[in-house]
Amino acid sequence: MTDDDSLTQRIATALATNPQRVQRLDHAGQTIWIKRRETPGLLLRLQKGNPDAAFKAERHALHEWHRMRAPAPKILAEGTDFLALADSGRPLNALLSDPQITTADRIEAFHAAGRALAALHARQISHGRPSLKDICWDGQKITFLDLERYAARRNTPQGHAMDLVMFVFNALVVGRGMTPELNAAIQTYRANDPDNIWGLARAWCHKMRWIDWITKPVQLRRGGKAKEFKAIPLTLAVFANG
């Protein structure tokens, strides 16, 4: 049996025995992530839109990113129902809350993320929704995951600005406010900003400031979604003051 055969076998077993949509597998000393296509039942479709279309979009986007030499995880194997991806390290949200990691290492990862996002935009590519959990750091390199929201039509300065707003917004949600890590990412992004994307993001936030007012009652609620609503005025302030 070749290495490829045994990998295919492992993947088939993993898909048959573990129902999770994304699962981690250790194979021949290597960590592998398997993402499966979900069969869209009616309930799932109502809750999450069409997961089948999302899977196809992501598979297509991964190939496009590889063609453009953009930093997406390497595809180790694929079928109509699954993708097996090389490990890209740990997502930024995990690094942010890990007390084992030194502040200096966390800041280094966020500097790298700011640089990687600016480099992506300099090449006129938008991610679509760069949340912290979809940006991985392996100690040397940033890799963007989860390309379900990637669309070539968003590869515009406006699309880059939306990436930047979403990144900042999500980091404020996860960090429950401004953190030295997010600040590091913003500084590096701005130092490498390819085309005054910051200015565009700022203008968009200025235009959207009414959102803060209409969501005020929800922001004052406790727990749950309130965390996200509370990050709205913080996001607007980051771009207004920057």
Query: Could you say which DSSP state residue 138 is in?
Result: -
Ranges assigned E (strand) in the chain: 22-27, 30-36, 75-78, 82-86, 90-91, 135-137, 142-144
Nearer to Mg ion, 145 or 205 (CB): 145
Site string for ligand ADP, 125-154 (x = CB under 6 A): --------xx-x--------xx-x------
Residues 205 and 240 sit within 8 Å (Cβ to Cβ): yes
Q: Does 159 bind ligand ADP (CB under 6 A)?
A: no
Q: Does 33 bind ligand ADP (CB under 6 A)?
A: yes
Residues 90 and 140 sit within 8 Å (Cβ to Cβ): no
Q: Tell which positions 84-103 bind ligand ADP, by CB under 6 A.
A: 85, 87-88, 91
Q: Does 193 bind ligand ADP (CB under 6 A)?
A: no
What is the closest distance, in whole angstroms, from the C-beta atom of residue 74 to Mg ion in the complex? 17
Residues in the chain: 242
What is the closest distance, in whole angstroms, from the C-beta atom of residue 145 to Mg ion in the complex? 6
Site string for Mg ion, 115-144 (x = CB under 5 A): -------------------x----------
Amino acid code (one letter) for 2: T
Residue found by looking up tokens 């235009």 in the block? 207
Of the candidates 232, 49, 41, the one whose C-alpha atom is nearest the C-alpha of residue 149 is: 49
The two tokens of residue 40 are: 């869209």
Q: Does 83 bind ligand ADP (CB under 6 A)?
A: no
**3 state SS of 208:** coil
Nearer to Mg ion, 91 or 159 (CB): 91
Q: The dihedral of CA 132, 136, 138, 141: what is its sign?
A: negative
What is the closest distance, in whole angstroms, from the C-beta atom of residue 146 to Mg ion in the complex? 4
Instruction: Write out the residues near Mg ion by the rule CB under 5 A.
Output: 134, 146
Positions in the binding site for ligand ADP (CB under 6 A): 21-22, 33, 35, 73, 85, 87-88, 91, 133-134, 136, 145-146, 148
